[in-house]
Structure 1
Amino acid sequence: MTSGRPPGFEENAAFEDEPVLAPRVPVVLRTAREAGHFGGVPEALRIDVDAKLLATVRRLTGITDGSELLTFALAHVAWDADWLLDFQASRGTLDPDIDLDLS
């Protein structure tokens, strides 16, 4: 397993040609905006990134513009951090009123 993927992934990798993360892009950006992660003064950021990684992320997200892609990536990190902090604060408990439909 040299790709770092789980066994069997390669056989089922046809989806890799589709922008499978495209539906998540507006959700991540909206959630980050609602959490207050946007609204500052725009700041220029220049990065060097591996061309293969960039091509993969562009294909998976459907985002071709570099600024939009970086904005999505940074918003995704902020969103994941928010979720992790909320989860840690809950100490792994669930609201007793949540219906898990375990019947």
Structure 2
Amino acid sequence: MAKIASRTPLRPAVAAGKRRRAISKLAGKKKTSLPRLAKVAAIFERAEESGLRGEKDGRITGRVSAVLIEKAKARTGLTSDTELVEFALANVALEDNFAETFRKTQGTVDPDLKLGY
């Protein structure tokens, strides 16, 4: 079982510096858009802060389409299969379900609520 470390949130300036370094590292690997690289770096950062990127003590195997792997690597800028799987799993583990919650709450605002205009 993976160890989950409790960490204090990074100060914004420290987090931004770590994110810039991660983006620079990814940018050197492939020609991928900066917003996409920033998303990859942010997911890895959030996973690390949540204790999800600790000791590498798990193993996963599977067979998937080579085209899928190639396309995913091109979109993320990642070159390693391990990094790609780790990114995909972290992305799922950190999902905030915003779209689902937004749909569920559609039309639920009290009609008497004063919005200031």
Q: TM-score higher than 0.5 here? A: yes
**TM-fit CA distance, 1:59:** 0.5
Residue 43 of structure 1 aligns with an amino acid whose one-letter code is: G
Residue 71 of structure 1 aligns with an amino acid whose one-letter code is: E
Post-superposition Cα deviations, 1:52-78, rounded to whole Å, max 9, x if no partner, equal 111110101110101011001100111
Structure 2 residue corresponding to 1:29, chosen from 24, 35, 44 = 44
Q: TM-score when scaled to structure 2?
A: 0.50
**TM-fit CA distance, 1:41:** 5.1
**1:59 alignment partner in structure 2:** 74
Secondary structure class of the residue paired with 1:46: coil
Query: Is 1:69 aligned to 2:84, yes or no?
Result: yes
**TM-fit CA distance, 1:47:** 1.8
Question: Where does structure 1 lack aligned partners over 5 or more consecutive residues?
Answer: 1-17, 93-102
Between 1 and 2, higher relative CO (CA 8 Å, sep ≥ 6) is seen in 1
Sort the Cα spacing of 1:60 and 1:41 in 2 relative to 1 into closer, same or farther, 3 A: closer
- Percent of aligned pairs with the same residue? 27
Question: Where does structure 2 lack aligned partners over 5 or more consecutive residues?
Answer: 1-30, 106-116
Runs (4+) of structure 1 exceeding 6 A deviation are none
**TM-fit CA distance, 1:28:** 0.2
Post-superposition Cα deviations, 1:40-97, rounded to whole Å, max 9, x if no partner, equal 55212222111111111010111010101100110011111xx128x85xx85xxxxx
Summarize the alignment of residues 31-50 of structure 1 with structure 2, pairs less than 5 Å apart: 31-39=46-54, 42-50=57-65
Q: How many residues align?
A: 72
Q: d(CA) in 2 for partners of 1:41 and 1:69?
A: 14
Post-superposition Cα deviations, 1:25-47, rounded to whole Å, max 9, x if no partner, equal 11001112222333355212222
Q: TM-score when scaled to structure 1?
A: 0.56
Residue 76 of structure 1 aligns with an amino acid whose one-letter code is: N
